Structure 1
Amino acid sequence: MASTPTYDPQLARTLVLDELFDLSLYKSLREVFPRDAEMRRTLDELIAVEAHHLAFWQKFFNLKLDRLDPGRRLKLWFITWLCRLFGATAVHLVLEAIEVYGVRKYLSLWRSYQGQPLGAALQNILQDEFKHEDALVTRLTERKINAEKIRNIFLGLNDGLVEILGAVSGFFGAFGDAVTVLMAAATTAVAGAISMGAGAFGALNSEQEVRRTESGKRLFLGETSEQAEMAEQPFQSALFVGGAYFLGALVPVLPVAFGAQSAWPSIVAAGVMSVSVSTVLAFLSGMNLRKRIALNLIIVIVAVSATYGIGLVAKRLWGVSV
């Protein structure tokens, strides 16, 4: 196929290896639950689809790859281990996450290669993604990946992490005393969690009232109300956001509670947590992993620098001390 090597070799390798990874993962998951007939049947059908996709890309690019690279092998082992640990729910989440990631990836490439042979090939793959694979995954289980829940968890964790890390840094800059920093940061964390939960509750409660009013108006006018029920309730949202905020806030506070005498242990803990949360949420929602991690780390660095600087300025100008 002399006309094939007109595409980026790295792109060709990525597409082939991604399909090989999905195929290998489905085969591994099939062995994890030997007694779940419905799951094995669904995975068998997904294996057939992925085997077809792999053969298609190998032929399209004239690129025969039958072994995963080290990074994908490690990812395969880790995901399989998590599914063994957490059971069927983890498998459902993984299947939906892979579906979301595949659709986002192929849609992005299709927009870039429309009108070219690769664009036509991607269109065929996307039809399988939208119709066949989506139907298989949905048939296996109800949707576990809820965009609202992901948003609330990410919002709460990220806000708690960044805000309280900023508070810890600023308090260390101003006071320099670990006990004072711990008291101030813990108080701020509790108040922030309550505030975030109350804010989420108020926002969704107001939205519910607007929906009810609109529905009542339509009923009075004799119109059919086809308004869908809200997927998330205000109290549930408040618990998600407030609880996630408090968990995020604990990350920079705990090092101080265990004896840290500077902000550095909190900064390191927050950085590790930020990378971990970004990785999980990027995988579940199909976001770009590197961009999400880089953005969160930049936010952490800016918050720490700004608040620590403000603390130092306050200490010098107003003589704040303990």
Structure 2
Amino acid sequence: MDEIKLAQHFYQMEMNDFYTYMEISKVIKKQDIREKIQKIALMEKKHAQFWGDFLKNRNAAVPEVSVNKTKLLFMKFLSKFMNPVIVISFFELGESGAIKQYYNFLKQTTLNPEERQRLKEIILDEIEHETFFARQINEKGVSNIRDFVLGMNDGLVEILGAVAGLSAVYLYNPIMVGISGLIVGFAGALSMGIGAFISVRSQRQVNQAQKEQMEIIFDVAPERAVEEYKEKLISSGVVKEIAEEIANKIGLNKEAISKLLIEETDENEVKSGLFTGFAYLFGVFFPVIPYFFAPNSYIALPFSIIFAGLALTIVATVISVLSGISIKKKIAEMVISAFTAAGIAYIFGSIMQSVFGIEI
């Protein structure tokens, strides 16, 4: 896509965001958040003006504004059942690819000094917007959506492979496949849940131990804490002279140094373990359900694949929206990898049946 078409695309995108945010802001009750969304909307309009000027300076047509009515209606519909800020935040995170596109445009396109400076400012604006929306997502607890779909994906893919392999062994006993899949899935959910519990708890214990050690260091040799912080800055790539300057400015600020040296975590280990386990277990049901209703595994397996494929499509779509990557590519990546694993597992099951002469 040449620079003119890209600029026209960016103009449309920014104007679309302007109208969308202004419309959704009307149903936001909290005044400070509503004003923040409206401010962002006006900034998007200002960004669109930059792209309009870019096109005019090159005697190119500024496209007519075409609002994505489907997206706007969908967002309005969701706003009736969810906090409008969450709805906007959810969709905005899916637009994070704009920052990369703008950066590539900045690096690859010939711009005059004024245009270059304005585009740099736009990129910083977009980063600020993304940070704001990401903060809203985290404050409202919606970041758990990503954790849930990833945990669900693990359970879905692993059990799809398991039931596919078992289908080749228990050709005429689908109930056995279904029960086995549930048992494996339940064990997997326990493993994932316990693993998450131990991971979060261990991190909390490590943090507590580090805090206690820091208390001792500050009491016995406070200058050691400053030196340790300086070394951490240097190891992270900060120039030695700058690291020394920063460390000296912070001085013996105990609270500041502790926060910078110790990685804090607000996660609750019990909640994390239960959430991860249930997410995994939820994914197990999609490939397993058909085996409790089909007369044999030949019929159950295709339905298992279809159900898993539909669930994977939903999971891939959510991940794509949250990550700002191509939905089509993510769906293809996840579905193909899952089905490949199922195919390999089925072949392995067939080999095991032949080797051990299982006839069930």
- TM bucket, shorter chain: 0.7 to 0.9
For structure 1, the residue ranges without an aligned partner over 5 or more in a row are: none
Q: Matched residues in 1 for 2:70 and 2:86: separation?
A: 19
2:339 to 288, 295, 301: 301
CA contact 2:86–2:136 (8 Å) conserved in 1: no
The yes-or-no answer on 1:73 pairing with 2:106 is no
Q: Matched residues in 2 for 1:248 and 1:138: separation?
A: 26
Rg bigger for which structure? Answer: 2
CA positional deviation for 1:24: 2.6
CA contact 1:97–1:286 (8 Å) conserved in 2: no
The yes-or-no answer on 1:210 pairing with 2:206 is yes
CA positional deviation for 1:107: 3.3
1:23 alignment counterpart = 18
CA contact 1:172–1:263 (8 Å) conserved in 2: yes
For structure 2, the residue ranges without an aligned partner over 5 or more in a row are: 219-224, 226-253
1:242 to 263, 277, 281: 277
Q: Check 1:229–1:319 CA distance in 2 against 1; reply closer, same or farther (3 A cut).
A: same
CA positional deviation for 1:193: 0.6
CA positional deviation for 1:142: 6.4
CA positional deviation for 1:156: 1.0
Q: Matched residues in 2 for 1:181 and 1:208: separation?
A: 40
Partner AA of 1:26 in structure 2 = Y
Q: CA RMSD in A?
A: 2.9
1:57 alignment counterpart = 51
CA contact 1:103–1:126 (8 Å) conserved in 2: no
Superposed, 1:255-270 pairs within 5 Å as 255-259=290-294, 261-270=299-308
Q: Check 1:319–1:24 CA distance in 2 against 1; reply closer, same or farther (3 A cut).
A: farther
1:96 alignment counterpart = 89
TM-score under structure 2 length normalisation:
0.76
1:199 to 191, 195, 214: 195
CA contact 2:160–2:308 (8 Å) conserved in 1: yes
The yes-or-no answer on 1:252 pairing with 2:287 is yes
Q: Matched residues in 2 for 1:207 and 1:136: separation?
A: 27
1:173 to 159, 168, 171: 168
How many residue pairs were aligned?
309
Superposed, 1:274-293 pairs within 5 Å as 274-293=312-331
Partner AA of 1:76 in structure 2 = L
2:265 alignment counterpart = 230
Q: Matched residues in 2 for 1:145 and 1:288: separation?
A: 25
Q: Matched residues in 2 for 1:139 and 1:156: separation?
A: 22
Aligned residue for 1:87, secondary structure, equals: coil
Q: Matched residues in 2 for 1:271 and 1:278: separation?
A: 10
Q: Matched residues in 2 for 1:129 and 1:12: separation?
A: 16
TM-score under structure 1 length normalisation:
0.84
